[in-house]
Amino acid sequence: MSTRDIVLVALFAAIIVVLGMLPPITFGFIPVPITAQSLGVMLAGCILGAKRGAAACLLVVLLVAIGLPVLSGGRGGLAVFAGPTAGYLVGWVAGAFVTGLIAERLVRDSQTEFMQFASFFLAAVVGGIGVVYLLGIAWLSFMSGKAFVETAIASLVFIPGDLIKAFVAMLAARAVQAGYPLLPVRT
């Protein structure tokens, strides 16, 4: 990794931490509050790419492991990894990697704006929602002793908020791509 890569990883880790400090958003039609921290995972993957995006999320997970209160609600420490949401933390790293991998493969400067928007949105949904949910729900199901399908159905209340975050990540990633491209290109 170059110095530039290290700075970008640290910057996006800081963005993820700051997004965790934002108060949860509540909507009348969704009974569960939505936090902004997973938006940082989508942004890291879409803007930095697979390796650097995953490294930024891994850095946040390491900060949690050493006890810093960087998660939403001021949580941190090894106890978080024994809790029901530990799968989502692991899912952040894998989700950022998959988000970045899809973005690197689909987004091209030669594409129309619409295709770039669509590619970033697809990357954010598949990696930032799909992969994170897959690992998070699997762990939550294991910890709660409930069936995977039952846990997955209960998690559907978060989908509208996460789709909004994917939309915001798409807009931000396209803006950065147009002005100061950081996304590595894969063939």
Q: 76 and 69 in contact (C-beta within 8 Å)?
A: yes
Give me the pLDDT at residue 33, please: 62
pTM higher than the cut 0.75: yes
Instruction: Find the mean pLDDT for residues 58-80.
Output: 93
Q: Characterize 142-151 residue by residue with b for buried, 16 or more Cβ atoms within 10 angstroms of its Cβ, and e for exposed.
A: eeeeeeeeeb
> Residue 17: pLDDT above 60?
yes
pLDDT at position 173 is: 96
What band does 185 get if pLDDT is binned at 50, 70 and 90?
A: confident
pLDDT over 80 (residue 52)? yes
**Does 6 have pLDDT greater than 90?**
yes
Between 78 and 181, the more confident residue is 78
- Band (pLDDT 50/70/90 cuts) for residue 181 is confident
Whether the pLDDT of residue 146 is over 70: the answer is yes
pLDDT tens digit sequence for 82-115 = 988 899 999 999 999 999 999 999 999 889 999 9
d(CA 133, CA 152): 8
Q: How far is CA 143 from the centre of its chain?
A: 22
Q: Class for domain 3-179, per CATH?
A: mainly alpha
The domain limits of the chain are 3-179
What pLDDT is attached to residue 2? 92
Q: Is the pLDDT of residue 132 over 90?
A: yes
Torsion angle, alpha carbons of 130, 132, 134, 136, to 10: -150
Q: What pLDDT, on the 0 to 100 scale, is given for residue 183?
A: 78
